[in-house]
């Protein structure tokens, strides 16, 4: 065990605070690491492009740190526009909202989504939102009373608010919940999201698990209008990944608010294995262990204190299987595969062309008389035998 140097880890005066304050300090601690930093930079670059995509899909395994990434992106954008926001209180450059799983099977609740979105804007009187008279009769002849607080009314209220607040980026966390519906309606769901982006002139960032990749299977147009940012797990078979994960573990260790710094780095391989190489899973595991240690009055933590709070091995197995399957789906094909695809297509076209040529050739022969069937009962011209014995058939 070792003591924390003055210049590292948590502020030493924190030890004089309550257990609750020390827990809160560690729970709120997030760190930058290569996967997080690269994903953040890639997303911000896409947002800044004048011809950037309508939709950015940020995907990765559960527990990799995608929710932390969402917060980092929001904070970066708010910081970038802080001066303008100080002078224009109505300006809201970015909004973040969670997609909640549907209560009913195979039906995402858009009314709930737009209600939560308006709440993020602190929009007043959400329950009283209604369609304007022309919108009501444009769609269907119903009274204003029944048009109040409907999905359509809330949708238009959301779109109007985003335009008025000049919101250029919408972050939807847990966006894979939006795809919990019958597969027949997946394309329609994506079209709804795309429509929201276009009507509000907003880049929508969908953050979620590998299930989000389903929307890219709907059409080539959907692929063209979106970009994928992959936030993958760390792979301990790659030297740089192993180094980055070790650094993250050590940083968390130094910020555990105990009198004596936990001496746990010798167990690095176990930490990696039981967290599937995902920083989010590691942090949640350590949160629980730190809470246990503080509430138990310990002055440090050992591996034996931390290990019981890890996920069961079967759960880690499920996470790894989903992660590897997702990585396989995202694996790009080679240029040689593209050439083969074009070559095979050309062969098919050439084969069809050859068949057509053969058909035309047969038609030409038929027209010239070759191969034309003779008339019934008419003999072909030939020399008849003269004299001698006739055939035994008597003809």
Q: Tens digit of pLDDT per residue, the chain (395 long)?
A: 444 443 478 999 999 999 999 999 999 999 989 999 999 999 999 998 867 678 999 999 999 999 999 999 999 999 999 999 999 999 999 999 999 988 766 688 888 899 999 989 886 544 444 444 444 444 444 444 444 578 888 888 899 999 999 999 999 999 999 888 777 778 888 888 888 988 888 999 999 999 998 877 766 667 777 899 999 999 989 999 999 999 999 999 999 999 999 999 999 999 999 999 999 999 999 999 999 999 999 999 999 999 999 999 999 999 999 999 999 988 877 788 778 878 877 778 777 544 544 555 555 555 555 544 555 555 555 555 554 444 443 43
pLDDT confidence of residue 366: 52
Question: Order of strands, edge to edge, in the sheet holding 169-173?
Answer: 94-98, 169-173, 203-208, 55-59, 226-230
pLDDT confidence of residue 128: 46
Coil, helix or strand at residue 9 = coil
pLDDT confidence of residue 135: 43
Tally of CA atoms within 13 A in the half-sphere of 94 that contains its CB: 19
Cα Rg of the chain, angstroms: 34
pLDDT confidence of residue 350: 78
pLDDT confidence of residue 3: 43
Q: Which residues of 121-136 are buried (b: 16+ CB within 10 A; e: fewer)?
A: bebeebeebbbeeeeb
pLDDT confidence of residue 394: 42
Find, among 36, 79, 19, 383, the residue nearest to 231 by Cα: 36
In angstroms, the Cα distances linking 389 to 317, 382, 383, 392, 395 are: 96, 19, 16, 9, 11
Helices (H), the chain: 19-27, 34-48, 66-80, 82-87, 110-120, 133-139, 144-147, 151-164, 186-200, 220-224, 239-254, 268-275, 279-295, 303-306, 313-330, 335-367
**Six token digits for residue 199:** 């009507």
Find, among 364, 30, 17, 38, the residue nearest to 232 by Cα: 38
pTM over 0.95: no
The torsion angle over the Cα atoms of residues 223, 228, 234 and 237, rounded to 10 degrees, is 40
**C-alpha dihedral sign at 286, 287, 293, 299:** positive
């Amino acid at each position: 065990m070792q003591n924390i140097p003055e210049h590292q880890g948590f502020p030493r005066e924190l030890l004089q605070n309550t257990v609750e304050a020390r827990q809160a300090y560690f729970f709120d601690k997030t760190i930058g690491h290569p996967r997080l930093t690269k994903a953040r930079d890639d997303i911000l670059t896409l947002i800044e492009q004048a011809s950037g995509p309508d939709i950015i899909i940020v995907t990765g395994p559960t527990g990799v740190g995608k929710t932390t990434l969402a917060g980092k992106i929001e904070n970066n954008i708010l910081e970038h526009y802080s001066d303008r926001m100080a002078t224009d209180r109505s300006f809201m450059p970015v909004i973040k909202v969670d997609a909640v799983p549907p209560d009913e099977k195979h039906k995402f609740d858009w009314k709930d989504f737009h209600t939560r979105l308006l709440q993020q804007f602190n929009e007043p009187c959400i329950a009283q939102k209604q369609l304007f008279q022309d919108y009501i009769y444009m769609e269907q002849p119903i009274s204003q009373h029944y048009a109040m607080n409907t999905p359509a009314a809330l949708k238009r209220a959301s779109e109007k608010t985003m335009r008025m607040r000049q919101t250029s980026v919408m972050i939807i966390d847990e966006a894979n919940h939006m795809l919990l519906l019958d597969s027949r309606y997946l394309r329609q769901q994506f079209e709804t999201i795309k429509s929201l982006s276009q009507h509000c002139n907003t880049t929508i960032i969908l953050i979620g698990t590998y299930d989000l990749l389903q929307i890219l299977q709907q059409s080539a147009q959907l692929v063209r209008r979106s970009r994928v940012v992959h936030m993958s797990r760390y792979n301990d078979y790659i030297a740089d990944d192993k180094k980055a994960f070790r650094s993250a573990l050590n940083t968390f260790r130094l910020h555990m608010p105990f009198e004596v710094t936990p001496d746990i780095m010798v167990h690095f391989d176990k930490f990696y294995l039981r967290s599937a190489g995902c920083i989010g899973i590691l942090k949640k595991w350590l949160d629980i262990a730190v809470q246990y240690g503080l509430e138990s009055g310990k002055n440090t933590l050992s591996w034996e204190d931390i290990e019981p709070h890890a996920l069961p091995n079967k759960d880690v197995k499920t996470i790894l299987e989903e992660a590897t399957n997702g990585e396989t789906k995202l694996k790009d094909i080679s240029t040689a595969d593209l050439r083969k695809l074009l070559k095979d297509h050309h062969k098919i076209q050439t084969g069809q062309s050859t068949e057509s040529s053969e058909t035309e050739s047969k038609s030409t022969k038929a027209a010239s008389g070759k191969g034309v069937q003779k008339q019934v009962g008419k003999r072909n011209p030939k020399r008849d035998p003269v004299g001698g014995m006739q055939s035994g058939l008597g003809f």
